[in-house]
């Protein structure tokens, strides 16, 4: 949970511009994934305030939206893993609107991948002066790349399918053998019964 006091533009004035809403950051990522398969990292930055607070409810803070255009800026950094988008993602953030950022990830090798997800607010002054960036959330994540005998998910499924077919051939062969043998035994018993009668 991020309170308005954590989303403030540093200012020398008595009232500091801030995002006057309680927001929650929710980050989801796979703890492990097969090499060669797509994974997803999802960052959700949403307003959880019941009503939009006024400056009267936030002493010492002014509504940043009156003098700034606000953007959320998200970035994912990791070594050895492919991911998209690779560049910093910037999304306009009107009051009360959620921000959702997705990264598609692919691990090419087995092992642990350590990455960092960053979320910042970028305040663009309406008077055209220099933008201000305020980091508000940083999270270290770990993703384990796994495989079966060094094979990626596609190869594992192919070999699994071939193994299943070979097993079915052996099972059907045994079933046919038992049925033919059982049929011979039944025919032999019929013959014996006929002789006895």
The secondary structure element, H or E, covering residue 122 is: strand 111-125
CB 24, CB 8: distance < 8 Å: no
Burial of 176 by CB count in 10 Å (0-12 exposed, 13-18 middle, 19+ buried)? Answer: exposed
- pTM here is 0.72
Per-residue pLDDT of the chain (197 residues; tens, 9 = 90+): 999 989 999 877 778 999 999 999 999 999 999 999 999 999 999 999 876 555 556 788 999 999 999 999 999 999 999 999 999 999 999 999 999 999 999 999 999 999 999 999 999 999 999 999 999 999 999 999 998 655 555 555 555 566 676 677 767 777 777 777 766 655 555 554 544 44
The order of strands in the sheet holding 23-28 is 23-28, 38-47, 99-107, 81-84
> CA-to-CA distance for 55 and 112, rounded, in angstroms?
46
Backbone phi, psi, residue 60, to 5°: 85, -5
Extract long-range pairs of 169-176: CB within 8 Å, 24+ residues apart.
none
The CATH number of domain 4-146 is 2.60.40.10: yes
Backbone phi, psi, residue 144, to 5°: -95, 120
Q: Residue 72: CB partners within 8 Å, gap ≥ 6?
A: 45, 90, 91, 93, 99, 101, 119, 120, 121, 122
């Amino acid at each position: 949970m991020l309170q308005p006091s954590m989303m403030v533009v540093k200012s020398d004035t008595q009232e500091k511009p801030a995002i006057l809403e309680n927001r929650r950051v929710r980050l989801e990522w796979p703890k492990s994934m097969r090499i060669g398969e797509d994974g997803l990292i999802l960052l959700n930055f949403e307003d959880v305030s019941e009503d939009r607070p006024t400056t009267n409810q936030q002493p010492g803070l002014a509504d940043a939206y009156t003098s700034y255009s606000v953007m959320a800026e998200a970035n994912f950094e990791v070594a050895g893993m492919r991911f998209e988008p690779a560049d910093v993602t910037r999304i306009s953030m009107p009051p009360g609107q959620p921000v959702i950022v997705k990264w598609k990830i692919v691990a090419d090798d087995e092992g642990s991948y350590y990455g960092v997800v960053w979320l910042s607010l970028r305040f663009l002054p309406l008077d055209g002066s220099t933008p201000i960036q305020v980091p508000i959330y940083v999270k270290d994540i770990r993703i384990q790349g796994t495989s079966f005998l060094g094979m990626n998910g596609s190869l594992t499924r192919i070999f699994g399918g071939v193994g299943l077919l070979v097993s079915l051939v052996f099972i059907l062969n045994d079933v046919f053998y038992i049925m033919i043998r059982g049929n011979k035994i039944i025919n032999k018993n019929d013959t014996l019964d006929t002789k006895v009668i």
